[in-house]
Structure 1
């Protein structure tokens, strides 16, 4: 009886590990290979150019406006798809844990462990949502936060490279909300 429950728990942990690997793959799929934050210091010098062009504002062409709209739609789709996929996977994990909790054949240790994992998963989901909301409140149009063990990954929508001040803002929010150490937080801008 106990061996069977341990096998189910082991199977669940393997499934969770596979899910974690999948999330890691999805995060790095469109972002690039570098986990480093791309930073750009704000430029204090005016742009060079001749005097006739210096006072003029460049107007976007119709194709540039269309490209920007397409890029915005792609970004929205990326974040929406990721959130939907994450929600589906989390619902499956909770259903699996509930099946252990509600199974008459489950022993007390298995039920206790499943309850602890379910509570931890729900707390992680809440922390991720709160952190995403606070990052958006700082002016970023979209972001995704995932927390796993003692690491946190943040993908932020940014049309330009992140400045060091923006990266510091995000780092402070994530560290404060999650308790994850700075060296274990990865911030990745998505253009």
Structure 2
């Protein structure tokens, strides 16, 4: 019985660390300096045709935030898949890893849907971060800034697409 609780604690700790990593990547992604973007690589002697998908520009907060979120989530998924493939893992650990993967997948889908719906309402861009207890939405605000109607409209979208309450939703303007 102790082993089951210990393994559940490990799975919970992994989920907590993943959520923390996603938040930290998002929080500090705009503090990247020296013309480098977190996760950006540079091809030597590459031209436009062979470079593949371009990395986000330094001043493109939204692309950088999405990239950081994706990298953190990919790392978490990789760790969980390794736990699932462990031959010595107990059934409860396998179930916990599978459930966590499903949660991460649902977060990814919901974030994408919310981002699409917010931009469909006329906002230039936005990025969404879903955590266990809250949702953060960063919006490219109109020139006049976000007003209470804008915040209500965005919160309504999040409430309709998730199980979160308005009190769990944070709306922020991108600088």
Aligned position for 1:128: 111
CA deviations on 1:42-98 (whole Å, 9 max, x unpaired) are xxxxxxxxxxxxxxxxxxxxxxxxxxxxxxx765x2111111111111111111110
Aligned length: 148
Aligned position for 1:180: 164
Structure 2 alignment gaps of length 5 or more: 32-56
Aligned position for 1:99: 82
3-state SS of paired residue (2:164): coil
In the superposition, the TM-score normalised over structure 1's length comes to 0.68
Q: C-alpha distance in 1, partners of 2:23/2:81?
A: 23
Structure 1 alignment gaps of length 5 or more: 30-72
CA deviations on 1:89-121 (whole Å, 9 max, x unpaired) are 111111111001111111101000000000011
Partners of 1:128 and 1:145 within 8 A in 2: yes
In the superposition, the TM-score normalised over structure 2's length comes to 0.73
Aligned position for 2:148: 164
The one of the two structures with greater contact order (alpha-carbon pairs below 8 A, sep at least 6) is 1
CA RMSD of aligned residues (A): 2.7
Aligned position for 2:36: none
Aligned position for 1:16: 18
Mean CA deviation greater in 171-180 or 132-141: 171-180
